[in-house]
Every structure is written in C-alpha cells, then in structure tokens.
Amino acid sequence: MTMGRSCFLSAVRCTIISAIFKPPKAIRGGVPICFPQFGTHGNLEQHGFARNRLWIIDDNPPPLPLNPAIKAFVDLILKPSDEDLKIWPHSFEFRLRVALGPTGDLSLTSRIRNTNTDGRPFSYTFAYHTYFSVSDISEVRVEGLETMDYLDNLKGKERFTEQGDAIVFESEVDKIYLSAPSKIAIIDHEKKRTFVLTKEGLPDAVVWNPWDKKAKAMQDFGDVEYKHMLCVEPAAVEKPITLKPGHSWLRILIFCVLYRSTQCP
C-alpha cells in the first residue's frame, strides 16, 4: 500500500473537534447518511433520520456487485422503528456496505429496498454527507463542477450556472450542483493531495462550508474549524427517487486520495 493510499482514512474521516456525541442527535463529521430526506427538502427533520439511528451489523452479508478483489468490508443494516413509521410511514431495508479496496480506496454502497406490503411506493432524497479534512479552506479548490447549474441554498434555492474554472472558497458556500459528473476532485494545495470522488447513479453534488459567522453560531462546531473542513456530497436531491414495493435502489461512492506520487485506478 502506498503512502498516499495508507493515509486515506485519516484524511477523509474529518471529525469536528467540538462535535457532541449525544444520541439520538447526529454527530458532526465522518460520512453521515442523509435519508429519507436531504436538508430541508421535505417535511422531516434536517437530513432525515438515518444518520441519527443505530444500525446493526449483518454477520452473513449477501453478494453485492462490487470489485471481487475487495475482501475487507462490513454491511450495516437499518430498518424503520415504530417511531420512524409514525413520521415516515414506509417499510424499508437500507443496506450500507463499507469496503476497503486492496490499494486503500474506500467505497460506500447503499442499497435501499421498499418492503411495504400494502402496494405503496415511496419517494426520498439522499446524500453521502462527506466531511473532508483540509489544510486551509482558502487553499482548496474543487474541480469537475465548472459550468454546472446549481441551486444556491443561501439564496432561496435560486438556480445559477457556475462561472469559474474551479470552485474556490472565500465565504460561506451551500450549493447543490445538478447533473454533476461522475468524478469530482478536491485539490488541497498545502498538503499536496487530491481527493477524487467517483459516484455511480447519484446525479447531484452538494458543496458546503459554513464559514466563520455560521461556525460561531453552531454549538457543535468550533469557531475556526470551518478552515479545516469541506463537504462535497454525492447526492440525489433535485429529483426525488421513487421506489415501488419489492424494488431496490443501489448507488456507489468511491473515495481515492492522491499525493503527487500516486494515482487513482
């Protein structure tokens, strides 16, 4: 395993130092799963309830369409509780496979199945709410989203077109890029490393950094921690997914981190 790949997990797992672990509230950092709602795009709590629940480990996971070379993985299962059914009356099974490839690449595979027995479909929005650890947000640029249309959450979800050659950060950003490409790169100049996100079947990408004023107003976010984090989130937000009973939805996110001496497959 190369140095760049072996350092991957510590680079991507960004945990906010001021984060508060107090279930059932979500903990800030890592890769929270936004389901069955992203943000405020619906009537549920912010980002839905999946990130606030306890998942169980499947001791006998079935095969999923992943690289057969991947041997190190764990499957986590989420099913609705009685309380969940009161606020979102649909039966489902959410299987999340977290896998580490032979070269250190991390993949997340989500399979959501509609298990309603009354014939009802359900609709939802979704995101991998990835927190990345960066050296200095002012020295970071995101490539791959140039010329894309986006919804600006800071301007009432108004639609714009990205004009720059790359996304750079000088103030708060909260945008949903639509029909985003399958690969997005986060370039951290100071650390001489690049995160590459490869997404399959997730049409959108959310880019978020709260900047200084919002960071100071957040209880679980240090006043200056915004300088060292960035969220770039593969998502399905603009057009909700609808699943019929018995049908499944499967989507994959692969992380790779590059140093100057390494390259992604």
What amino acid positions are annotated as catalytic residues? 129, 233
| Cα four-point dihedral sign 73, 199, 130, 192 | positive
Beta-strand relationship, 248-259 and 193-200: antiparallel
Give the Cα separation of 95 and 253 in Å (integer): 14
Helix (H, G, I), strand (E, B) or coil at 8: helix
Which residue from 232, 264, 105, 234 is spatially nearest to 166, judged by alpha carbons? 232
Which residue from 253, 249, 205, 263 is spatially nearest to 230, judged by alpha carbons? 205
Give the Cα separation of 68 and 80 in Å (integer): 31
